Structure 1
Amino acid sequence: MEPDDPTPADTPGNDTPVRGSDLARQALEQARERNAARRREAGRTPLVRRGGGPAARRRRRWSGPGPDSRDPQPLGATLRTWVDRAGVGADLTRAQIFGRWPQLVGPEVADHCAPVSLTDGELLVQAESTAWATQIRMLAPQLLVRINGELGANSVRRIRARGPAAPSWRFGTRHVPGRGPRDTYG
């Protein structure tokens, strides 16, 4: 063997233990491979190397062949993102429910009840009689499917029906506790 040729025992691929700078190179290469695999799984762009130092690990500035957040977006997707970030989605849903109530629930149901409020996904419906309030409670699952089918999933999570309110005998800001004039009802 010539003196310049490494002996088989000195090469890193043999049965001899790897040490020193060869061990460091192998660990670095394995770390780079794991990092590249994680970036591919996450759908992120690969790192581009330009020389040494901290600026060497910069991302590319062009979009590439696949879809990217920097690509032009459809107007509907942009508006949906804006509505979600601005927090006006509940107001838009409420306006659509109140404005399109007869189309959402049907004319017969709309003749006998009306939406009152939409708070945290709970729709409060005022019925004209206790019988219609009971009917709305029984129809609630079907109404939820119809409303969420028209306005989007989870626009309304629960429907609560309320019957007509009893007359109030309170007049003014002062009130005396007790049965009062209601004792004639029972």
Structure 2
Amino acid sequence: MSNQQLPGEENAPHRSDDDTVPAARPSTSVPAHDDDEPTRLYLHLKEVWSGRRQQKRRNARTIDPSDSVPFGKGRDPHSLGSTLGNLTDQLGWSPQLSQSEVLLGWPAVVGPELADHATAVDLADGVLMVQCDSTAWATQLRLMRSNILERLANEYPDAKVESIRFIGPDVPSWKHGFRSVPGRGPRDTYG
């Protein structure tokens, strides 16, 4: 092939086999082989991580004076209360906060006299648990259950209180061991 010319080399000088031609280095922007995927990946990553692309973007970016206005539409400061309200709504904390408000506002719902003898203990699954000082107070509050539920629904609608359970005082257990016999029970001697 020393004396033969390839197509497109009509005007090129005649070369012999002894002439050594240095190999051309492929440019970094165009790979030598289109099918050589690792080479293309390397060149792409080299371009991305070298910072040239970001410089081109920064240089091509135009600054719009209306974007840098310190006081514009949508840039007004918000109050801390509205910001926290939006945060609690986004994170879904509203039901838990309204339930805790019911527990804290129990004296305002039933009045100071009843609140001295009955304490709201827990609110879970729509059931408000109220611990009473005696069985007499628990009975009295059971009679007032519908009125209390109505006031809770009006004052704390987000808490979703569906029912109230009044618990009497804690009494000691007379049952000791697995061989104990059911007796008459504690009766109403502790309240």
Q: How does the TM-score come out when normalised to structure 1?
A: 0.48
Structure 1 or 2, whichever has the larger Rg, is 2
Higher relative contact order (CA 8 A, sep 6+): 2
